[in-house]
Amino acid sequence: MSFHQAVYSEDIIFNRGGPGRCGVRLPDWKVEEDLVPPKLQRKELGLPELSEPEVVRHYTRLSQMNYGVDIGTYPLGSCTMKYNPKLCDWAASQPGSANTHPYQDPSTVQGNLQIMYELQSMLAEVGGVDEVTLQPAAGAHGEFTGLLLSRAYHKANGEEHRNEVILPDTAHGTNPASVTTTGYHIIETKSAEDGTVDLDALSSALSDKTACFMLTNPNTLGIYEHNVVEIAKMCHEAGSILYYDGANLNAVMGRSKPGDMGYDIVHYNLHKTFATPHGGGGPGAGPIGVKKHIAPFLPKPVIARKGDEYVLDYDRPQSIGKIGGFYGNFAVLVRAWTFMKVMGGDGLKEASEMAVLNSNYMKEKLVEHYPMPHKRLRKHEFVLSGSNMKEKGASTKDVAKMLLDAGLHAPTIYFPLLVDEALMIEPCENETKEELDAYIARMIEITKASEEELHNAPVNSKVGRVDEVKAARDMVLCWRASGKCESK
């Protein structure tokens, strides 16, 4: 496929427009006198002045210089960039839910509460857990909530001294960052030769100080932790909680439930597994499911059903309280509900199976061309190494940029840290065989590219390689009415 991204020399919006223009007409209302204390009167507001058509052209042009799943393959490992059905966008924009206030009387938002209640139930079934909270606004937010639940659980059992969290060396960066925020200490364990948890290392890390072990399954290498049941037993015997990071749930729906694996707390990323869009970085949603023994500590309110009525249940005396202002990213929840209704139990299972097939198909076709350390069988993603490019003075970064030139998005690169020059590939269930074949062909072609070609890429994108060092040095982080704002 030939590709060239749109190129506009689209200036900063502050340099557009003209005096007196405005893109909004308000209803009339008489302006009152003396609205604010005189010394707090705003003296200057330097926003630009644009008419509606100017704003429309500006953002339309910007959109054309942006790559998304709707344009092409976007196999970012660990990110689950699956197709976001248009039906779900429609569902989230219905005025019947969009124009409801979070403080309305619950009797007037029964529809919203029903959606949330049903979503909680569906997620509980996928995760193999008893109760679910929808309040976390993102994956890291859910993870943080999980750790707060762990803290509350141990405290209730008189075991406040448990202040260590064990992480495998493949953990996502949010894991250690969330642990620090909770005030816990991190114990990192090395992986075994085959890329799974080393049981001996885990055994020596577990102690009467362990609060929680955070483990993704399949793990970040895309390998199913075949010892997971044993791992859960070891954790429980040591009095620790086992926490499921839901980043890779798309591999196992309908095949293996985290609750059955032995996890106590299960995290979901609706923006990964349940097809809600990533929106250039958010909003997502990071619900948390728990087994019965953790349920009393869930954030308030839980959406409950009493007879024929749905209620916001605040009567949870052991609850950790609130972790966000309201009930979570409701518009995202509506999308996930819609997706799960269309997919059904059978469709979700099929999604996981086909995601795993697509991944293994690509892996087997690429493994002769790029080194792949660790175990052979993978789930929904796999991690290759771009270390073979070193001999011609190139790197994984160059591979990524050459993929962009073909109208393909790069995989996740340089993560996990365990693999040198990592290329982490997650194709998802929505790619056609033809698209997978094209991606494979391009990856192989790149191994034959010259050093110069590799270093020059990308040339078909809106801009060439961006100088990230300059960005960090100059610190131009915004534009103000006075012009470019340098913070160095």
Partner 1 sequence: MQYIPNINHKEQMLKEVGYSSIDDLFEDVPDEARCDGLKLPPGKSELEVERELNQILHKNCTLDHCPGFLGGGAYHHHVPKTVWSLAGRSEFITSYTPYQPEVSQGMLQAMFEYQSAIAELTGMDAANSSMYDWPTAIAEAAMMARRINRGSEFLIPSYVLGNKKSVIHNYVDGTGLVIKEYPYDPSSGQYDEDALLGMVGDSTAGVYVESPNLFGVIEEKVADLKAKIGKASLVIGANPLSLGILEAPGNYGADYVVGDAQVFGNPLNFGGPMVGYFACKKEHIRRMPGRIIGMSEDSRGQMAFCMTLQTREQHIRRDKATSNICSNQALAAMASSIHIYLLGKNGMRDLAQQNASRAKWLMREMNRMDGVKAPAFDSYHFNEFVVKTDEGVKAMQDRLLAGGVFAGLDISREFPDLGNASLWCTTEMHTREDYDKLLALLKEVEQ
* In 367-395, alpha helices (H): none
By the rule CB under 8 A, 109 interacts with partner 1: yes
Report the alpha-carbon distance of residue 376 to residue 387 in Å, rounded.
Answer: 18
Of residues 4, 315, 345, 450, which one binds partner 1 by CB under 8 A?
A: 345
| Smallest separation, CB 352 to partner 1 (Å) | 9
If DSSP codes are grouped into helix, strand and coil, which group holds residue 133?
Answer: strand
Q: Which of 246, 262, 287, 386 binds partner 1 (CB under 8 A)?
A: 262
Single out the segment in contact with partner 1 by CB under 8 A; choices: 199-207, 329-337, 387-395, 441-449.
329-337
Segment lying near partner 1 (by CB under 8 A), choices 206-214, 287-295, 355-363, 386-394: 355-363
Q: Which stretch binds partner 1 (CB under 8 A): 73-81, 200-208, 290-298, 386-394?
A: 73-81
CB 354 within 8 A of CB 136: no
33/391 with CB nearer partner 1: 33
Nearer to partner 1, 391 or 482 (CB): 482
Task: Extract the tokens encoding 443.
Answer: 């990856």
By CB under 8 A, residue 13 contacts partner 1: yes
SS3 345: helix
Residue pair 371/420 in contact (Cβ under 8 Å)? The answer is no
Residue with Cβ nearer partner 1 (256 or 447):
256
Provide the token pair at 81. 């960039």
Q: Which is nearer to partner 1, 1 or 36 (CB)?
A: 36
- Count of CA atoms in the C-beta half-sphere (13 A) of 487: 8
Least distance to partner 1, CB of residue 131, Å: 16
Of residues 427-456, which lie at the interface with partner 1 (CB under 8 A)?
Answer: 429-433
Longest dimension (CA), the chain: 76
Return the C-alpha torsion angle 196, 202, 203, 204, nearest 10. 130
Question: Considering the rule CB under 8 A, would residue 323 count as an interface residue with partner 1?
Answer: yes
Among 129, 166, 179, 383, binds partner 1 (CB under 8 A): 179
Near partner 1 by CB under 8 A, which window of 91-99, 202-210, 288-296, 442-450?
91-99
Q: How far apart are the first and last CA of the chain?
A: 43
Under the criterion CB under 8 A, does residue 342 sit at the interface with partner 1?
A: yes
CA distance 387 to 135: 42
Query: Out of 153, 184, 274, 297, which residue is the one contacting partner 1 (CB under 8 A)?
Result: 184
Is 325 a binder of partner 1 (CB under 8 A)? yes
Residue type, 21: R
Where do we find the tokens 């690429």?
366
**Which tokens hold the place of 216?**
């993704």
114 lies in the site for partner 1, by CB under 8 A: yes
Binding mask 387-426 for partner 1 (x = CB under 8 A): -------------xx--x----xx-xx-x-----------
Question: At a CB cut-off of 8 Å and minimum separation 6, what does 409 contact?
Answer: 67, 72, 73, 74, 75, 76, 81, 403
The one among 202, 206, 221, 228 contacting partner 1 by CB under 8 A:
228
The answer to whether 129 contacts partner 1 (rule: CB under 8 A) is no
Q: How far is 283 from 335, CA to CA, in rounded Å? A: 12
Q: State which residue, 87 or 445, has the beta carbon closest to partner 1.
A: 87
Of 129, 138, 265, 290, the residue at the interface with partner 1 (CB under 8 A) is 138
Cα 99 from Cα 96, distance rounded (Å): 6
291 binds partner 1 (CB under 8 A): no
Using CB under 8 A as the binding rule, the residues of this chain from 148 to 167 that contact partner 1 are 148, 151
Which residues inside 24-63 make contact with partner 1, applying CB under 8 A? Answer: 24, 26-27, 29-32, 35-37, 39-43, 45-50, 52, 55-56, 58-63
Cβ distance to partner 1 smaller for residue 323 or 419: 323
What dihedral do alpha carbons 328, 133, 210, 206 form, nearest 10°?
-110
Query: What CA–CA distance (Å, rounded) separates 190 from 413?
Result: 21
How far apart, in whole angstroms, are the C-alpha atoms of residue 98 and residue 270? 19
The dihedral built from the CA positions of residue 464, 470, 471 and 472, taken in this order, carries a sign that is positive
DSSP states of 381-394 as a string? -EEEEGGGGGGGT-
Contact 189, 202 (CB under 8 A): yes
Comparison of 200 and 364: residue with beta carbon closer to partner 1 = 364
Residues 188-217 interacting with partner 1 (rule: CB under 8 A): none
Per-residue tokens: 411: 């995989």
Check residue 98 for interaction with partner 1 (CB under 8 A).
Answer: yes
> Please, which of residues 460-479 interact with partner 1 by CB under 8 A?
461-468, 470-472, 474-479
Q: Does 93 contact partner 1 by CB under 8 A?
A: yes
Name the residue nearer to partner 1 (CB basis): 226 or 392. Answer: 226
Q: Which is nearer to partner 1, 135 or 391 (CB)?
A: 135
